[in-house]
Amino acid sequence: MVVTHKKLSSSSVEEISNQQIDILNAVDDAFGGVIVEMKEPMNSNVFDTLLRVSISCWREQGKKGIWLKLPIELANLVEAAVKQGFWYHHAEPTYLMLAYWIPETAHTLPANASHTVGIGAFIMNKKREILVVQENNGRFKGLGLWKLPTGTVDVGEDIVEAAIREVKEETGIKVEFMELLAVRQSHNVSFGKSDLFFVFMLRPLSFDIQKQDSEIAAATWMPFEEYAAQSYMQKNEHFNYIAKICAAKIDNDYTGFCALPATAVSSRRRKSCLYFNNHGGVVVPNTI
Amino acid sequence: MVVTHKKLSSSSVEEISNQQIDILNAVDDAFGGVIVEMKEPMNSNVFDTLLRVSISCWREQGKKGIWLKLPIELANLVEAAVKQGFWYHHAEPTYLMLAYWIPETAHTLPANASHTVGIGAFIMNKKREILVVQENNGRFKGLGLWKLPTGTVDVGEDIVEAAIREVKEETGIKVEFMELLAVRQSHNVSFGKSDLFFVFMLRPLSFDIQKQDSEIAAATWMPFEEYAAQSYMQKNEHFNYIAKICAAKIDNDYTGFCALPATAVSSRRRKSCLYFNNHGGVVVPNTI
């Protein structure tokens, strides 16, 4: 939908509706609202008028929420939407999603993503040595602290896959899933968002370390006791407990969660994965 | 910083720098970058010039990332920033955060929040009846399906507190934490983001149901076997496994994760909570 650049008078609404374009293209959502995804360039005055007419129309139709997706190339349209009462819902590098609520009641639109997600990897070889790294960046830079490989889970990425990927990237070691040992939730981590951190035990499938130079200052196999005895591990309550959990696991005195991939029965057939304690096969006979 | 509205000529850069304002107010971040938080209204042409001068200055200083936080009231400045190469990092209802990377290398700025987080609550009274609801909205509306109370975790909210809050809101029942039974990760749930869903066992502290009318069509205590026998529970793989986990828990044949709140030793002293299997007190003698 390309509209030529021209200055619109106050009679423009009628003018436009007498042309081909009545209101903005929209599709219904499943909750009584509409979704507008702008794609083509548009003059902001033209957009302002079209949006005003469109909202009136959707109000008459009894619509509730309006989603307005503006690609970053159409940043010139943001101000007009905000002036008409839209607020920012979320943004990704390539677009901004704005929202508007027509009814008088409080809106029931779903919240934006609230958490970043990270992983830590506990990997032991047959000599009771564990894979540890020192980082080039971040809060542990230059402290000489040996720590478990960690990393960030991408959108759409399984937490286990993220752990396997991060270990490979940072150390060159191939690993496979054994168990989810623990989960930690923290708050106010990045931009006020909360964070969920999953600690996995992974089985090494290779042993020759090829460290990544950009993020990792050093990587080695280290006796578990030496790792756990670092003074920082004693001072940090959660590092300390995670080391105790790993120690219990080494002694066969700990059961974490297994992973069971499944496809939820829904119209979208999303892939998902369930983590739970399957000790003794009490829930399901065979799990990975 | 208020700058009066005027049309700037190409000599405006010098003009401005001869006034009090040299570059935009910025504070250094911990990663060699700067953070600009705009607060006062500004004409977009003035902002455009100031931003251009500021970027040149930060480039000379060897700065890396630039964070630009624009409150929604300053939506008039978005277009100018985008035209100078900023991209959208994230947005919340009241502001838009844009980012810019000065070095020639790929940027190393942290990712935006990637996951929504939800909870499910398994609550049983002494008659082996569990607390179940039917919902007014969403995919289970009108299906007659009795399900565990569920809800969304807010930013900054502990997952356990979210479970306690949601049960109280939906059913009026007061509960306390017993155990984290299972975790599920799903993808492409809201706006392409992933979702983490935590299933808790909670102990009821009250028993008279006061259901919330807006979200809940019906709420009741129901024999567990009746809940688990619903045909939908058999068809949905994960619902089925979660019911099996709950059944095992009822038979004292299942150990989930306990919750251990702690304060991480860091400059920010963030509150956090660690979830792990403390069966037999193997990791820590006393946990909630």
Tell me the ipTM for this assembly: 0.85
Q: Which pair of tokens denotes residue A285?
A: 């006979």
Q: Which residues of A touch B186 (CB under 8 A)?
A: 264, 270-272
Closest residue in A to B239 (Cα–Cα): A264
Q: Which residues of B touch A95 (CB under 8 A)?
A: 88
Q: Is A258 on the interface with B (CB under 8 A)?
A: no
- The half-sphere exposure of B182 on its side-chain side, counting CA atoms within 13 A, is 27
- Residues of A numbered 135-154 whose beta carbons fall under 8 angstroms of chain B's beta carbons: which are they? 137, 139, 152-154
Higher pLDDT, B105 or B96: B96
* Chain A positions in Cβ-Cβ contact with residue B72 (cut-off 8 Å): 82, 87-88
Structure confidence at residue B270 as a pLDDT band (50, 70, 90): low
pLDDT, tens only, B195-238 = 999 999 999 999 999 999 888 999 999 999 999 999 988 888 88
> B17 or A173: which carries more pLDDT confidence?
A173
Specify the amino acid at residue A120: G
- Token couple for B271: 């509150």
**Gyration radius of chain A over CA positions:** 26
> Which H or E run includes B59?
helix B44-60
pLDDT in tens, A20-44: 557 999 999 888 999 999 999 999 9
Q: Which structure tokens are listed for A77?
A: 């349209």
Q: What is the mean pLDDT of residues B39-50?
A: 96
Token reading at A28: 């219904």
A154 neighbourhood in chain B, CB within 8 Å = 111, 114
A260 and chain B: CB distance < 8 Å anywhere? yes
CA A107 vs CA A111, B57, B134, B221: distances in Å: 11, 44, 21, 30
B169: closest CA of chain A, how far (Å):
15
Alpha carbons A271 and A263: distance in angstroms, whole number: 5
Is residue B221 a contact partner of residue B227, using CB atoms and an 8 Å limit?
A: no
**B182 — contact with chain A (CB < 8 Å)?**
yes
Question: ∠ CA A133-A135-A141 to the nearest 5 degrees?
Answer: 135
Residues of A in contact with B277 (CB under 8 A): 254-256, 277
Q: What is the mean pLDDT of residues A117-124?
A: 97
Do the beta carbons of residue B245 and residue B199 sit within 8 Å? yes
- How close is the nearest chain B Cα to the Cα of A82, in Å? 7
Tell me, what's the pLDDT at B21? 54
B88/A95 Cβ within 8 A? yes
Between chains, do B270 and A188 touch, taking CB under 8 Å as contact?
yes
Q: Looking at CA atoms only, how far is residue B9 from chain A in angstroms?
A: 21
Interface contact B91-A97, CB threshold 8 A? yes
Of A75, A116, A139, the CB nearest to B266: A139
Mean pLDDT of B56-60: 95
Query: Residues B186, A264: contact at Cβ < 8 Å?
Result: yes
**pLDDT at B100 > cutoff 60:** yes
Q: State mean pLDDT over B170-188.
A: 96
Contact across the interface for A236 and B265, Cβ inside 8 Å? yes
For residue A287, the model assigns a pLDDT of 52
Q: Out of B88, B186, B190, whose CB is closest to A72?
A: B88
DSSP for A70-88, written as a single string: EEGGGGGGHHHHHHTT-EE
Closest residue in B to A274 (Cα) is B184
CB atoms within 10 A of CB A235: 10
- pLDDT, average across residues B177-193: 92
Task: State the nearest Cα–Cα gap between A189 and chain B, in angstroms.
Answer: 8
3-class state of residue B78 by DSSP: helix
Residues of B in contact with A79 (CB under 8 A): 75-76, 78-79
- CA distance linking residue A255 with residue A257, whole number of Å: 7
By mean pLDDT, which of A17-31, B67-81, B259-273 is the weakest? Answer: B259-273
Mean pLDDT of A262-273: 61
Question: Is B244 in Cβ contact with A155 (below 8 Å)?
Answer: no
Taking residues A121-146, report their average pLDDT.
90
Task: Give the nearest chain B residue to A278 (CA atoms).
Answer: B254
Residue A21's pLDDT is 54
B90 and chain A in contact, CB less than 8 A:
yes
| Chain B residues within 8 A of A180 when measuring between CB atoms | 183
Rounded to a whole number, what is the distance in Å from the CA of A127 to chain B's nearest CA?
23
Q: Rounded mean pLDDT of A100-112? A: 91
Mean pLDDT of the region B250-255: 91
Is the model's pLDDT at A53 over the cut of 70? Answer: yes
In chain A, residues with a C-beta closer than 8 Å to the C-beta of B114 are 113, 115-117, 153-155
**Looking up tokens 């080039």, which residue turns up?**
A136
Residue A33 is encoded by which pair of tokens?
């609202």
Averaged confidence pLDDT in chain B? 88
CB-closest option in B72, B92, B187 to A112: B92
Mutate to test the interface with B, among A77, A152, A213, A257 (most CBs of B within 10 A): A257
* Nearest residue to A200 via CA among A181, A223, A226, A174: A181
Q: Which of A1-15, A184-198, B34-48, B125-139 has the highest mean pLDDT?
A: B34-48
Q: Are strands B95-101 and B175-190 parallel, antiparallel or unpaired?
A: unpaired
Least confident of B8-22, B125-139, B178-192: B8-22
Give residues 7 to 26 of B whose Cβ lies within 8 Å of A. Answer: none
Q: Is the dihedral of CA A54, A55, A56, A59 positive or negative?
A: positive
Positive or negative: CA dihedral B276, B119, A118, A265: positive
For residue B276, give the nearest of A83, A181, A263 by CB distance: A181
What distance, in Å, lies between the first and last C-alpha atoms of chain A? Answer: 51
Beta bridge partners of A261: A273
Residues 6+ apart with CB under 8 A from A77: A38, A42, A44, A47, A70
A170 is catalytic: no
Q: CB-CB: which of A116, A237, A263 is closest to B114?
A: A116
- Cα of B191 to nearest chain A Cα, Å: 9
Residue B266 above 50 pLDDT? no
| Number of C-beta neighbours around residue B61 at 10 A | 11
**DSSP category for residue B238:** H
